[in-house]
A and B are shown apart, each in its own frame.
Chain A
Amino acid sequence: MGRKRRNTNIQKFTGSMQKKLTVLFFLILAAFLGLTIRLYAINRDNGEEYKKQVLSQQEYDSIALPAKRGEIIDRNGTKIAVSQKVYNVIVDSKSLNDKEGQFLEPTLNILFDTDIDFLYTREELKDFILSNPTSQYRIVAKKQEYETISPLMEKLGNKAEYPNLKGVWLENTYQREYPYGSLACDVIGFVQGDNEGAYGLEEYYNTTLVGTDGREYGYLNDDENLERTIKSPDNGKTLVTSIDVNIQSIVEKHILAFNEEHENEYREGAGSKNTGVIIMNPNTGEILAMASYPVYDLNNPRDITGLDIQVSEEYTTQGNIDIDVNDEKEPEEEASEGVEQVIDEDNSPVSGNTVTAPAGSDIEEVDIAPEKPKTYEEAYEDAKMEALNALWKNFCITTTYEPGSTYKPFTMAAGIEEGIFTGNETFNCTGVKEVGDHEIHCNNRLGHGQLTFSGALEQSCNVAFMDMGARIGKTLFMKYNRLYNFGLKTNVDLTGEALTNTLVFDVNRMVPTDLAISSFGQGFNVTMIQMISGFCSLINGGYYYQPHIVTRIINDDGATVKNIEPRVIKQTVSAETSEKMVELCNNVVSEGTGKTARPAGYRIGGKTGTAEKYPRKTGNYVVSFMGYAPADDPQIVIYTVIDTPNVESQPHARYATLLTRDILTEVLPYMHVFMTEELTDEEKAELDAAALTFAQSSNKTLSENTVSENSVEEEKPDDSVIVFEDEKPEEKKPEYSLDPATGYPIDPATGAVLDPSTGQPIDPTVSDLE
């Protein structure tokens, strides 16, 4: 061992030291051995468990890639509902607290140097990051648009220039946007919560629109290597609807105008309890426009400003018109018991009916109030939700009401189809008809006298129709009632259609008075969509088309996935009967009660309706007009319903006919329907005053047609609207003062409202006998 050294100055590493070093070496070796055993033990004892643990941790690594919700576009490709890619900003406090938090300030500087709308102030966010050092996922800004987020995105992608930007990442999602705000809100519906459609097309077609989320995830391949895979999201499909944004906005503009005109006129509140308009193509069942009042902003459906929230029990007491699927009454009983009070259109509400209401009818009217909420907050919350639900629901398909005289063409068509009427019948109206034990009055208490078959419809004579009903008989009457689809759903492709099977008469329980009043459209309930779909079949040759809104479903790449062709459900009447009905309804507008519905320059047909609401004798009416244009070849059918107009004297179908007229005056030229009638000087003056110049079919080509730009230009919030080349950008205000209630011109000298057809002053408070 000991080495010999000549240099004795040098201390040697002695043998004992060498021995000790060797001992140390073996001690170290023992430690290594111990650790080796420890390593082996970990693998032996916990290997399987830890292996699973490692794999299970990997699963957290998968990221959902949201699918884009399909769009909803109108017949011309205008986007009504779109999904915008938006970004959430996520902050990872943990990595911002790393390295002594040296990245915190620079990162905050960059974040708050952008236009991003953060949920927190800079100080709040800093406090949050410092007090939650383990948090790795905190959304600090929600649904920011690309333009806002792109500067940050660039900085995040540029690590070389922004090395201190840490712990921030972006997550993309989609936000539903409705470029037109409240336009067609009842038809479209909105999206709530987790991409869940509510109401309208959004709910009905939710599964089509929603698509399938994709996922980015890691998985182990056969060699147990981790691989990452992206399963792309399957974007939702786009709905092409039959709605025409321009027609829809014309309709909504006039509904709004009507309701604003009559706001607070007779009582506090809106111009009507509700106003609904549907425009439909009778030859396909496609709905061109469907609107009601009030409307709500689809981009902010829960906005309650302007909403009348009544926190009281009174709130639950509703008129008959609000019966819906959840709130059904027994119309048969009501009708048979309350029949004495039935008054048809154009009758004065204070007519001094001789028959008193039978005992118990009032009790029928009392709604069962829901359980009284415990606190005011709860009651308020309930009332708010009820008010919102009332706002969101689609009046045109959900609300049921008694149609009134607009049902008369249906009665007539049944009789003609069955050969009961030849068209040569005459009727004698004395103003009242005794049915069973009851006297049922005509709208004209003095009686219409002798009426021809056509005259009965033109004058909307209840007595004549009660006679017709009696001659048809209840069995046939109800057979046709069912054939016209009353009591059944139309299956229009919208959520919330009311089921009316209990709201129509049961033929076995029908008494003569039931038949009498149903012949002029009282005593049973319908929805607007049922009425217009049935009426379309009366004038289109007898084909009952299933009403629908979506005409095509296209996928993300623009390829058509499904075409929804017009679907004839059944034949209601023959082509001959239909032809006859067109002729009869044309007469209503040219000779009878529907005169005021005719837009200048056009011939149209239709039928008015004025139905007294429950409870009877309170002066509340549903006034309506069912019309079509042009008269000789119907291209569109329009149905206007005004529930409880806010006027002193309600029972005037004029409110509906004038609204219809205003709408058609703009819609028909827009649809390139040519004027066929001579314009009177007054009409010309009126059209000029409204700055509406129309194409004369004789000397102008299609492209030169001038269309009213009012609705299109004003209500267009983005550039995606198809701009018609014949639009004129300039806009003129009417210079001619018009009566706000009727739209009739006002004599500037006397201030009296003038009847445009006679030029004579008329008194608006006097019942309109038409």
Chain B
Amino acid sequence: MSEPERRRKPNKDKAFFDYTMLFIVLFLLCFGLVMLYSVSSYESSLDFGDSAYYLKKQAQATLVGVVFMFIVMMIDYHFWRRFAVPAYLVSVVLVLLVLTPLGYEVNGAKRWLNIGISVQPAEAAKVGMIIFFAAYVCRIGKNVQTLKGVVRTLLLGVPISAFVLFITENLSTAIIIFGIIFMMVFVATPNYKEYFLLGLGIVAVAAVFVVLVQKGVLTSEQSYRFGRIEAWLNPEAYSGTTGFQTLQALYAIGSGEIFGKGLGQSMQKLGFVPEAQNDMVFSIICEELGLFGAFMVLLMFILLIWRFLVVANNAEDMFGALIVVGVMAHISLQVILNVAVVTNTIPNTGITLPFISYGGSAVVFLLIEIGLVFSVSRRIRLKNPGNEG
């Protein structure tokens, strides 16, 4: 699509701005706020006596995020390249900081830092990793194509992922961080077979765990994660405990039909789906807007990812392209895993839906990433202005 267009006579002075992507991002943000209000108003009025409690906090974070997005957009993304190593170190330090008194627990997991405002360091780490690995892959150049280069790159991603996994006990974010690095390396190297085998290996290991849990060798007493696998295999059997959230989300999805019950008409949000404004927001979208609404939301994400593809493929250089690949990996992984959890396709692990789930840190850092993508896209020189975007 864009290829033939670009073949036309270029106008190098005409700056490119991806209005399509801007529209999609703003649409998702607004849609997210509307859904957040619908989902959270009942519980927040019970808990805080203010039905817009979550909405207000999220709207503030969104505004801050949008400001950051435009600031980052204005800055040439090459500026960040020199901060690649500090970005890595700062990410690690931030994650380690949760062990200090600055860190605090919510819902049993120590994932937050209180530095005047509360921040999830893992969210910051995602941005840091994208910048670091984009720079790192560019730096080692063709070496990345060797097995040694691949292994070394991936090994560099292990410490941060391990910190996130063991210190903040956040398996899903660790998976996502490692997934981002993995996808960036995948794109930067020409091979397929190795990745195919690696993917197969990961699936096989996971399958072994699942079988062991199924046979009762591994139980929830050893780790709550095994309990989640148990609940995933048979949510009805754990409907009162570990399977409750998943099952209620499934009820919500299944009761939505094609066009849903109508915006604001969810019954499951009335105390049945726990913390519906967080991980389970997609189930309420399915209930209120039906399959149609859910498909539309997924379509918006596909469009956004497609824009990332376009921007990356047209990026001025590899650093810019890899940044966009990282952001693309981040968002697509999170959407896929979130929807997979909500539909009980994979075991329950806390992953939020980008732009829509409640979470201030997440939306701010997400919008910073979007700002980076815009920054990359602004460097694209159009040969035929007006046809792009």
Q: Does A559 have its Cβ within 8 Å of any Cβ on chain B?
A: no
Q: Is A445 an interface residue (CB 8 A)?
A: no
User: A315-355 vs B: 1/0 string, CB under 8 Å?
Assistant: 00000000000000000000000000000000000000000
B267 and A226 within 8 A (CB): yes
Say whether B313 contacts A225, CB under 8 Å: no
A163 proximal to B (CB < 8 A): yes
Distance between Cα atoms of A50 and B254 in the complex (Å):
5
Which chain B residues lie closer than 8 Å to A49 at the CB level?
254
User: What are the residues of chain A within 8 A of B262 when measuring CB–CB?
Assistant: 223, 225
Inter-chain contact count A-B, CB under 8 Å? 149
Least CB separation from B78: chain A residue: A10
Name the one of A14, A51, A57, A225 contacting B265, with C-beta atoms under 8 angstroms.
Answer: A225
Docked pose: A560 CA to B183 CA in angstroms: 83
Main secondary structure of the interface of A (DSSP, over half): helix
> Is A22 a contact partner of B309 (Cβ separation < 8 A)?
yes
Is A24's CB within 8 Å of the partner chain B? Answer: yes
User: Which stretch (B62-70, B225-233, B295-303) binds chain A?
Assistant: B295-303
State whether A21 touches B325 (Cβ < 8 A).
yes
What residue of chain A has the Cβ atom nearest to residue B290's Cβ?
A: A43
Given contacts A43-B254, A43-B257, contact A25 B306 (CB under 8 A): yes
The residue among B3, B106, B187 with the most chain A CB atoms within 10 A of its own CB is B187
Find A42's partner among B107, B253, B312 (CB 8 Å cutoff).
B253
Whole-angstrom CA separation of A31 from B346 in the bound complex: 13
Q: A1-B3, A226-B265 are in contact. Are A35 and B336 (CB under 8 A)?
A: yes
Residue B173 interfacial (CB < 8 Å): no
Once the chains bind, are B254 and A47 in contact (CB under 8 Å)? yes
Selected from A23, A38, A47, A99, the residue in CB contact (under 8 A) with B343 is A38
| CB closest residue in chain B, given A94 | B274
Whether B105 contacts A43 by the Cβ 8 Å rule is no
* A contact residues, total (Cβ < 8 Å): 52
Identify the closest chain A residue to B336 (Cβ).
Answer: A31
Chain B residues whose C-beta falls within 8 Å of the C-beta of A359 in the assembled complex: none
Q: List chain A residues, Cβ under 8 A from B317.
A: 5, 10-13
CB pair B318 A43 closer than 8 Å: no
Interface centre among A35, A46, A224 (most CB of B within 10 A): A35
Closest A residue, CB atoms, query B251: A50
- A18 lies within 8 A of chain B by Cβ: yes
Q: How many Å from the CB of B363 to the closest CB on chain A? A: 21
Bound-state CA distance A14–B336 (Å) is: 27
The contact string, 1 if C-beta is below 8 Å from chain A, for chain B 274-300, is: 000000000000100001001100100
Contacts of B265 on A, CB cut-off 8 Å? 224-226
A1 to B262, CA, bound (A): 46
* Total interface residues in chain B, CB < 8 Å: 67
Please name all residues of chain B whose beta carbon is closer than 8 Å to the beta carbon of A39 when the two chains form the complex: 253, 286, 291, 294-295, 339, 343
What sequence of 0s and 1s flags, for each residue 160-186 of chain A, a beta carbon within 8 Å of any chain B beta carbon?
A: 100100100000000000000000000
B298 touches A36 (CB 8 A): yes
Interface residue B371 (Cβ < 8 Å from any Cβ of A): no
Q: B345 to A38, Cβ gap below 8 A? A: yes
A226 touches B270 (CB 8 A): yes
Q: Assess the A16–B190 pair: CB atoms within 8 A.
A: yes
A61 — nearest CB in chain B belongs to which residue? B270
Q: State A602–B312 Cα separation when bound (angstroms).
A: 117
Which residues on A sit within 8 Å (CB–CB) of B306?
25
Q: Is the CB of A100 within 8 A of B105?
A: yes
Asked if A43 and B256 make an inter-chain contact with CB atoms under 8 angstroms apart, the answer reads yes
Residue of A nearest to B332 (CB): A28
When the two chains form their complex, are residues B301 and A32 in contact, meaning their CB atoms are under 8 A apart?
yes
Chain A residues within an 8 Å CB radius of B321: 13, 17, 21
A58 at the interface (CB under 8 A from B): yes
> What's the Cα separation between A16 and B322 when bound, in Å?
13
- Known contacts A11-B318, A16-B190, A226-B265, A21 near B313 by CB under 8 Å: yes
Q: Which residues of A contact B183 (CB under 8 A)?
A: 24
Q: In the assembled complex, which residues on chain B have CB atoms less than 8 Å from the CB atom of A120? A: none
Query: From residue A32, how far is it (CB to closest CB) to chain B in Å?
Result: 6
- Quick one: given A54-B255, A134-B240, are A32 and B107 in contact (CB under 8 Å)? no
Check B252 against A54 for contact (C-beta < 8 Å). Answer: yes
Verify if B238 is at the interface (C-beta below 8 Å from A): no
Q: How far in angstroms is the closest Cβ of chain B from A688?
A: 70
Among B48, B192, B267, max chain A CB count under 10 A is at B267
Whether B291 lies near A20 (C-beta < 8 A) is no
- Are A40 and B291 CB-contacts (below 8 A) given A35-B343, A99-B106? yes
> Given A12-B318, A28-B336, 6 more contacts at CB 8 Å?
A21-B325, A24-B183, A32-B335, A43-B291, A134-B240, A134-B241
What are 11 A-B contacts defined by CB distance under 8 Å? Answer: A3-B314, A17-B187, A17-B318, A18-B312, A28-B332, A35-B343, A39-B253, A50-B253, A57-B267, A100-B107, A224-B261
